[in-house]
Amino acid sequence: MIVQADILKVFLYLGAALSTGIASLSAGYGEGFAAAHTARAMMRQPNANNNLTRTMLISQAIVESGAIFALVISMLLLFGGFTSRETDWAKAFSLLGAGLAIGLGCTGPNFGSGYSAGMAIDGIARNPSKSGRITANMLIGQAITESGTIFSLVISLLLLYTVPAQMEDPTLMKIIVKSCAYLTAGLVIGIGTFGPGAGIGYVAGKANISISKHSKDQGLITRTMFLGAAVSESTAIYALVVAFLLIFVS
* Residue 250 clears pLDDT 90, i.e. is over it: no
Q: What is the pLDDT of residues 43-64, one digit of tens each?
A: 988 988 899 999 999 999 999 9
In whole angstroms, give the CA distance from residue 168 to residue 209: 56
Residue 246's closest CA among 195, 197, 189?
189
Q: Which residues pair with 3 in a beta bridge?
A: 87
Given a contact cutoff of 8 angstroms between Cβ atoms, the answer to whether 241 and 216 are in contact is no
Contact 137, 211 (CB under 8 A): yes
Instruction: Please tell me whether residue 216 adopts helix, strand or coil conformation.
Output: helix
Predicted pLDDT of residue 168: 82
At 210-233, the pLDDT tens digits run 999 998 999 999 999 999 999 999
Does the domain formed by 2-248 have CATH 1.20.120.610? yes
pLDDT, tens digit, 9 for 90 and up, residues 3-20: 888 999 999 999 999 999
Residue 172 has pLDDT above 90, yes or no: no
CA angle 59/64/67 to nearest 5° reads 160
